[in-house]
Amino acid sequence: MDFPGVALVVGAASGIGKATALQYAADGCQRVAIADIQALPLQEVQAEIEKDYPAVKVKALQVDVTSYPSVQAMIDAVVEQFGRIDYCANLAGIIGFGDTVNLPLSTFDNVYEVNLRGIFYCCKAEIAQMLQQSPLTSQGAICNVSSQAGLMGNGNLPAYVATKHGVVGLSKSDGAKYASRGIRVNALCPGSIETPMLGHLPSGEEGKRREAERIQEIAMGRVGLPGEMANCIMFLTSGRSSFVTATTLAAHGGIRNQ
């Protein structure tokens, strides 16, 4: 796949975001910006890309997506270094377990601030930048990472589910609004993917029981891999999906009894 211009991956220090940053480099993007709240793991991702793809220029930036000034500073730094932003993958996210009655108010607020307000902040700053640029092959493409939880309910994850539905709504709205300006916006909805986030299940028997239940629901009988999600993001942000916008791609290995 061909990625002329500049890619930005937000939430790149771990899991699907790390795989996405590496995949942009593997797929020929020569300028890759990576951002995350975790500075040290992000530096390790930068070092890995530079080692495996010496021709690729990498800019690593610490960002807290819950702060708009931090997000704007990230965009400004990428533009200062690389001159433009063409492909954005917004992945920063956290999970919070607990049914509505028992979920602490602070957990709801934290999940909302990162998963929905944070993605909105990223889109706001990214789209504003894309609108100012002269287009390369397109004006720009954004993939917001929602979840299977953005398409259906889960009684143990109401805050996560609500924010991930919000990401779908935001992506559909921005995709429709900016289509006439040549910017595409879509949401990827992964199922269960083998990342540190999956490890945040409760420990002991309860965790094992939930893990078994999760696999039971997946038609392919396994969880997905971060690289499989990175490939979906490559599709949604490359010219291969030039007529795809304001929609979702569900990548969950099939849901039994759907």
Ligand X SMILES: NC(=O)c1ccc[n+]([C@@H]2O[C@H](COP(=O)([O-])OP(=O)(O)OC[C@H]3O[C@@H](n4cnc5c(N)ncnc54)[C@H](O)[C@@H]3O)[C@@H](O)[C@H]2O)c1
Residues lying near ligand X in the complex (CB under 6 A): 11, 13-17, 36-38, 63-66, 91-94, 114, 118, 145, 147, 190, 192-193, 195-198
DSSP string, 52-112: H-TT-EEEEEE--TT-HHHHHHHHHHHHHHHS---EEEE---------TTTS-HHHHHHHH
CB of 183 to ligand X, least distance (A): 21
At residue 218, φ and ψ (nearest 5 deg) are: -95, 120
Closer residue to ligand X (CB): 17 or 158: 17
Range list of β-strands (E), the chain: 6-10, 31-36, 57-62, 87-90, 140-145, 183-190, 248-251
Closer residue to ligand X (CB): 6 or 21: 21
Closer residue to ligand X (CB): 122 or 138: 122
Strand-pairing partners, residue 7, are 32, 87
Cα 73 to Cα 44, 118, 124, 126: the distances in Å are 22, 14, 13, 11
Closer residue to ligand X (CB): 83 or 199: 199
CB of 233 to ligand X, least distance (A): 10
Rg (CA), the chain: 18
CB of 16 to ligand X, least distance (A): 4
Helix axes 158-178, 105-112, angle to 10 degrees: 20
CB of 45 to ligand X, least distance (A): 9
Closer residue to ligand X (CB): 1 or 152: 152
CB of 177 to ligand X, least distance (A): 22
Strand-pairing partners, residue 58, are 32
Contact 14, 39 (CB under 8 A): no
Which positions are annotated as active-site residues? 160, 164
User: Amino acid identity of 13?
Assistant: A
- Return the residue nearest ligand X (CB atom): 15
Contacts of 102 (CB under 8 A, 6+ apart): none
